[in-house]
A and B are shown apart, each in its own frame.
Chain A
Amino acid sequence: DAGVIQSPRHEVTEMGQEVTLRCKPISGHNSLFWYRQTMMRGLELLIYFNNNVPIDDSGMPEDRFSAKMPNASFSTLKIQPSEPRDSAVYFCASSPGTYETQYFGPGTRLLVL
C-alpha cells in the first residue's frame, strides 16, 4: 500500500489567501484524522472522521478552518482566510477504526507570510 498521501508537501502563501490541504487515506481505513504540529504546541488533533462523518471537531481553532470528507478516499482541510499564525506542519492520519493504530502521512508544511 502507498500509505497516507498528502498534497501539497509544501505550501507558501500570503496572509488572507485560501489554503486547501488534501489527504488520501489508506484504502479500507474507516477513520481519518487531521493534526497540526508546531514547536510551541506540539501535535494537536484538529478533527477526525469516522466513515466519512465528522465525529469531533473540537480541535478546530477557528471558523476559518473547515474540513470535509466527501468520500472514503479523500479529505480536505481548508483555511480561509489564512493568517501567519497558521504556519505549521499539517498531518493527515488514517486508521482501520477509531481505536486502532493511526498511520500518518508525510505532512504538508504551510508557511503563511
Chain B
Amino acid sequence: QKEVEQDPGPLSVPEGAIVSLNCTYSNSAFQYFMWYRQYSRKGPELLMYTYSSGNKEDGRFTAQVDKSSKYISLFIRDSQPSDSATYLCAALNQGGKLIFGQGTELSVKP
C-alpha cells in the first residue's frame, strides 16, 4: 500500500463548478500536507500547505485535513479553464521527505 493514495482521475468539470480533490494517507505521524499543481510539461508548483488538522483558505482554494480519518482534500470554487492541470497531494515525513500521491488530472471545460 502506498503511503499517500490519490485517485488519478481524469476529472472533467464545467467552468464554474466546485471541484473536490481527495487523498488518503496511512502514516498517522504525518503533520505537514501540501497540494502541488502541475501544468502539462512543467514542474510541480506549491499551491497550498497545511499543518495538522483544519482548513486553510486562499482565494478560490481551500485545503482541508482530517487527521482522524487520514483524509486530505482540496476544494476549488468557481473553477476556471486555467485551473486545468494535475493536482498532487503530498505529506512530509519525519525525515524531511515529501511523499506524493499519484496526482489527479483535472480538466475544466469552458
Contacts and interface: CB of A to CB of B under 8 A. Distances in A.
Nearest to A6: B43
Contacts of B100: 42-44
Contact of B98 (A45, A103, A106): A45
A93 to B, nearest CB: 8
Given A43-B88, A43-B103, A101-B49, A107 B43 contact: yes
Interface residues of B, number: 18
Among B44, B101, B102, find the residue whose CB has the most chain A CB atoms closer than 10 A: B44
A7 interface: no
B43 A106 contact: yes
Contacts of A99: 32, 92, 96
Interface of B: 32, 41-46, 49, 88, 92, 95-98, 100-103
16 contacts: A31-B96, A42-B100, A42-B103, A43-B88, A43-B103, A45-B97, A48-B96, A56-B96, A56-B97, A91-B43, A93-B43, A101-B49, A105-B43, A106-B42, A107-B41, A107-B42
Given A43-B103, A44-B100, 19 more contacts: A4-B43, A31-B96, A33-B98, A42-B102, A45-B98, A55-B96, A56-B96, A56-B97, A91-B44, A98-B96, A99-B32, A102-B46, A102-B98, A103-B45, A104-B43, A106-B42, A107-B41, A107-B42, A107-B43
